[in-house]
Structure 1
């Protein structure tokens, strides 16, 4: 991500989708492909850009129509519409990285699998998805630097825990949380070129680490040149104070990739959270793939286990429909935003006036 843009508007969702109109212009898309293809394909750049422009535009248009239709649909069919909208947008993203997509029929598969025949005592939180070697998911994962996910299994409850917008719903549903909100000082002092931020002290107990050991733990999962250090001043009781350093950014809130660290994540409003599981980095998954796995599983239930899906969303005894509905709403808002960020290579935060 090159830059961060905070866009003030009356309707963030409408403004977000209006930004996609940029990618429905052939000159703009050819310019985009020229930018992405010139190093990799050199002399073939012009031909490949021309060849893929309309395909890309129709992926974007189709994805938008799926999402718009989903926004007006009932929960009985919403997961399927959102899933295929996600697939269309992901194909557009893949085309910017692979000019020859699809190279063979195997890449047209989902790239994931889950148990089609559900148990009688089925609960969504205990369901699992397994990543396959071929298909769209491993292709996207590879382009996001997560090739190691092939062959792994992921439980829905653990995936839901990784989404910051679901933190409140997750706590109400499962009575615990794994994401801790971070308080970041907005004060900039050029004498001390770093960002100070605060976390509750009980995080040290969760991670079974001392304050100094916790700093070393964080630095193991940095990307690039960012690093953490201890703060000279003692923090108030129950709080720990830390510093974030970056050679090109003083304020982490102005950095398009945030903390540049696997253990930190942002919601679509730009708020930061820390993932408190000690093994978080070992199982780190890009957020866009977390959304993809969750929606794939819901789509499979919706499509192949229609009676079960009906019972889940209409039964008064269901304990999970609250968090599932929250996820559907968050996905509808955030997933296109994440794709927009990838296509522009810039982070957009849409805020109401």
Structure 2
């Protein structure tokens, strides 16, 4: 287990959780709910711990259960009215087109549909907010994205683009260049977004990140081998965190192509959705999962899946903790 769990273990103590709640929200938490939070975090730790030594046939499922447990713990903390008995007992996602995927073998074409459940409750409770590192090893920026609607759909291939640290694995899998650029600065100026992004004006790359049919009044200005990108403020860029950027411990936000259906997801939701896909395939379609991880068929995706599971093992618990640690600073600054 990594050091993050030394801090997350604090949420397994009802007394510490009650003090945390008082400090963060100036609210007295009752013991029964504190214990519910404890149990969610304990389950999350045990699932993640079990996944470390688990066979690949079940590893993604154990990780996904850990993601769900930590997500439910977050919902219980962030939503004062949430209790174990009123959180919707479903995943909040479903694969819409599995029969097509089974025939084609193109895992990247999986379509996810949002339904009522833990995924949607996590987005609501977290206000669909991401906390970012900008040229820093510490969080120093945050963005609250618009909420997706129930029944919205998005694609696995699009989702995979949202992990800049795994860019090489995605390119090897999908066999095409991943369009992404490091974000240097961003702000809304009047009726437009103004982004300063690193790198020259490559029309092919930038047309994927900022498709003109979506980004209205788009203007790209190249200066000193960087670009300034302007567009209507009603369209949001797809910001994602790259954890290891200039240096191993220094992160930067990146901009990547938008998800279909005008959907925006924070970092927790992106990891949740990807883990759901892996967990669902390994649980409900074990022959497909076996063919992939044994190199029998459609195994081009395997390096990405393995690297994502390593990434998830560290980053989802870390993001959970840092969301809670950053929450008070965000509330005080807004």
Same topology, TM > 0.5 = yes
RMSD: 3.4
**Within 2, Cα distance between the matches of 1:127 and 1:280?**
13
The partner residue of 1:268 within 243, 259, 262 is 243
Instruction: Give yes or no for the alignment of 1:145 onto 2:120.
Output: no
**Within 1, Cα distance between the matches of 2:127 and 2:263?**
13
Q: CA deviation at 1:100?
A: 3.3
**Within 1, Cα distance between the matches of 2:242 and 2:256?**
16
The unaligned stretches of length 5 or more in structure 1 are 1-12, 39-44, 186-194, 219-228, 244-260, 348-353
Q: Residues 292, 170 of structure 1: CA spacing in aligned structure 2 closer, same or farther, 3 A cutoff?
A: same
1:118-175 deviations in Å (ceiling 9; x for gaps) = 633333211111111x211111111233532421112111111111121111112223
Moved over 6 A (4+): 278-281
Secondary structure, counterpart of 2:82 in structure 1 = coil
Q: Residues 124, 18 of structure 1: CA spacing in aligned structure 2 closer, same or farther, 3 A cutoff?
A: same
How many residue pairs get aligned? The number is 282
Q: CA deviation at 1:230?
A: 8.0
1:189-227 deviations in Å (ceiling 9; x for gaps) = xxxxxx986323215873398xxxx9x869xxxxxxxxx
The partner residue of 1:59 within 40, 43, 60 is 40
Q: CA deviation at 1:264?
A: 3.0
Q: Residues 122, 102 of structure 1: CA spacing in aligned structure 2 closer, same or farther, 3 A cutoff?
A: farther
| TM-score relative to the length of structure 1 | 0.69
**Within 1, Cα distance between the matches of 2:78 and 2:258?**
33
Q: How does 1:208-247 map to 2 (within 5 A)?
A: 234-235=223-224, 239-240=225-226
Q: How does 1:1-353 map to 2 (within 5 A)?
A: 14-38=2-26, 45-46=27-28, 48-102=29-83, 107-115=88-96, 119-132=102-115, 134-146=116-128, 147-182=147-182, 198-202=198-202, 206-207=206-207, 234-235=223-224, 239-240=225-226, 262-269=237-244, 270-277=250-257, 282-317=262-297, 318-345=299-326
- Checking the alignment, whether the CA contact within 8 Å between 1:109 and 1:136 is kept in structure 2 is yes
Q: CA deviation at 1:262?
A: 4.4
Larger Rg: 1
- Checking the alignment, whether the CA contact within 8 Å between 1:89 and 1:339 is kept in structure 2 is yes
| TM-score relative to the length of structure 2 | 0.73
Q: Residues 121, 280 of structure 1: CA spacing in aligned structure 2 closer, same or farther, 3 A cutoff?
A: closer
The unaligned stretches of length 5 or more in structure 2 are 129-146, 186-194, 230-235, 245-249, 329-334
**Within 2, Cα distance between the matches of 1:150 and 1:267?**
28
**Within 2, Cα distance between the matches of 1:177 and 1:101?**
43
